[in-house]
Each structure stands twice: as C-alpha cells, then as structure tokens.
Amino acid sequence: MVWLLFGALARAGDLGGERMRWDVTYAGMVAGEAWAEAKVDGGTLLLSGGAKNADWYEPFYKIDDWVQSTWIPGEGSLRYETRFREGRFHQDQDMRFEESGIEVARRQLKSEGWKEWTTPYPASPGAEDPVSALYAMRALEGDGPWTLQVFSGKKSWPLSIEPVERATMDTIFGKDTPVRVVELKALHEGDVKQRGRFFVTLTDDERRIPVRAVIKTNIGSIKADLVSYAAPTGE
C-alpha cells in the first residue's frame, strides 16, 4: 500500500478545499497517479487520498486504491477507511478510534469468496492513522527529529520523522523553490523494520507542501512529483 502514502500527504490546520495530484514514476516512466483532498466536516477534517496505475501498467499490476481519514488536528484520528485493490489483493478496512478501544472491521477477498471479521484492540489515545499522521507531519515545528504515534490495523507504533537536508529544486511553484527533505522511519506490524527508505520533500515555508516523495527499494525507486495544486479555499 505504499502508493497511498503519496496520496496521503497534506498539511494540518485550515485545509478545507486543498487538492493535490502527483505523477508516480518507476524506471523513468509514469506508472500511475496519486491524489489528496481535504474537506471540512463540522469540527473534523475528511482527508481523502487515492492512487491508480496508468493504463499501460495495468497488465503488469493493477492498482486502484482509496483511503479516507476522519481527523481532528492535534487530537488524533477518529476513523480510518481503506479500499485496496492491488493485483489479486482486495481488502476493505474500517478502523474506529474510541476512548474505550479501537475496533477494526475487515473485508478481504479469499479464494472461496469474501471473508468479513471484526477485531477489537486496546485504546491508543491521541494516535494517528497512516493518513492523518502524514497530514500532522506538515504542522510539526522546530528542527526535528520528531515522532508521531500511529495505529495501522493491529498495533500502535512510532513513526520517526528525521531531517535530511535543506535545498532548492525546480517545482510547479517555480525554479529554485526552497525545500526541506525528511526521511520517514517506521516499525511495521510485528516490529519488523520497514523495507526500503521513504523520503518526503516539502516546501520550506509555512505551507509545507509535499512536492516529491521517493521510496527506495532493492528493486529500484518509486517517485511521486507534484503536478497540480489547489490551495485551501480560505487562502
């Protein structure tokens, strides 16, 4: 589900109406696209994201993913919904965060048909889901490193955000845009260290717009570059 990380990146605060789209490239070719959008819903934010492969890539591996987080900035996630369609892997998930605990309802396609089950987990006050954590990252102050607590389906784990460098790069906002690169490090389920390295490049200003994300693995790098941006309606 690493493609959804690209579609998840956005900024905490007054985000209503912000929309972003990235081209995702692999081996130098555009293999798909990812998107993110924030909407205000009462006192919460609905943070939606998704990813889809390019038509030419579909014979190799079809991807059509969607996620949505219901989030209160500074307080954590309330709900995290996902729909993953990656090759033969089809799964829907609905995580609800309550003071009494976290309930996760899953629906997964098996060889014999769809299987549904619900599992309770201990409460994790203030925890983010994988989407809201990446939104919250944009509101962090100071020079870092920073740590956020994330619940991703079976347990809570720390997401470490470590500064790499400040630089300039050409973006859709102009040449030599000041940017800041950070590396995200996580413990996955079962305390197994993540495979590959995940870098995010943010504009070095108060908006901290994610203009690039790169996942480096032993079979190559997946890169997402921002190609369109709509500012929050309040700006």
Per-residue tens of pLDDT for the chain, all 235 residues = 444 555 555 555 578 899 999 999 988 899 999 999 999 888 789 999 999 999 988 888 899 999 999 999 889 999 999 999 999 999 999 999 999 999 999 999 999 999 999 999 999 999 999 999 988 988 888 888 999 999 987 888 899 999 999 999 999 999 999 999 999 998 654 444 556 799 999 999 988 999 999 999 887 889 999 999 999 886 6
Token pair of 222 as six digits: 């997946």
Match domain 3-230 to its CATH number in 3.40.50, 2.40.360, 2.60.40, 3.30.9. 2.40.360
For the chain, what are the domain ranges?
3-230
